[in-house]
Amino acid sequence: MARLIERGLNGIFRSRWGVAIVIAAIILAVVGIGRLFSDGEPSAPLGNSSPAPVISVDPSDNDSVVSPDPPPTPKTSPGRAQPEAVAYAFASAWVDHSDITAKKWMSRLQPNATTALADKLRGVDPTSVPADRVIGRPTLVAVNETMVNATVTMDSGKLGLRLVAPEGYWLVDGIDWEPA
């Protein structure tokens, strides 16, 4: 008898139809048992019966994303130029590139540039400057007391300048060009 059962099961599980019938029987058994033990009342979907979410943020806490403190004020040593004046002077010298040698152009930029920026600009052809004149006054955004980002509007775009003043003496340390 055991041999007969073994042959029957072996035959069923060797064919696709046999495996499909066994899987269908298991699914029907699970569904039937589930219905047998349910109370027959439809239950509400999980999303509708869940409680309202709990708010875990205290609005009065400072999360450091937006500081309640006023923006930093750039510090300038007494008798030294303000960052706006340095940015304007550098931008004016930067656009003054017609009929001038590269050496003369660099000598006009150097008083308002850090040594690192002057080294990067050394060898630049002044005729490659994409602007010809300054149109507006610099707008400043203080990053901290010793760093300011300035934007100067030119006739063909905007000149972005990064100014630093580690000892209260403002110098341009970086340049960025945004064409109009």
How far apart are the C-alpha atoms of 20 and 14, rounded to whole Å?
11
Q: How far apart are CA 162 and CA 147, in angstroms?
A: 7
Q: Nearest-CA neighbor of 81 among 175, 172, 177, 174?
A: 172
Residue 145 to residues 69, 105, 163: CA-CA distances in angstroms? 14, 30, 11
* Residue 105 near residue 96 (C-beta atoms within 8 A): yes
Q: What's the CA gap between 99 and 102, in Å, rounded?
A: 10
Mean pLDDT of 7-34: 85
CA quadruple 127, 132, 138, 140: dihedral sign:
negative
Q: CB neighbours of 83 closer than 8 A, spacing ≥ 6?
A: 74, 76, 140, 148, 150, 163, 165, 170
d(CA 153, CA 87): 11
Q: How close are the terminal C-alpha atoms of the chain, in Å?
A: 92
Q: What percent of the chain has pLDDT over 70?
A: 84
pLDDT mean over 62-86: 80
Confidence label for 83 from pLDDT (cuts 50, 70 and 90): very high
- Residue 84 near residue 140, CB atoms below 8 Å: yes
Overall average pLDDT of the 161-165 stretch: 96
Q: What are phi and psi of 32, to 5 degrees?
A: -65, -45
Q: Can you give the pLDDT at residue 172?
A: 96
CA distances from 69 to 59, 73, 141, 143, 146 (A): 16, 11, 15, 13, 17
- Global confidence as pTM: 0.62
| 165 neighbors 73 (Cβ within 8 angstroms) | no
Q: Tens of pLDDT along 124-154?
A: 999 999 999 999 899 999 998 999 999 999 9
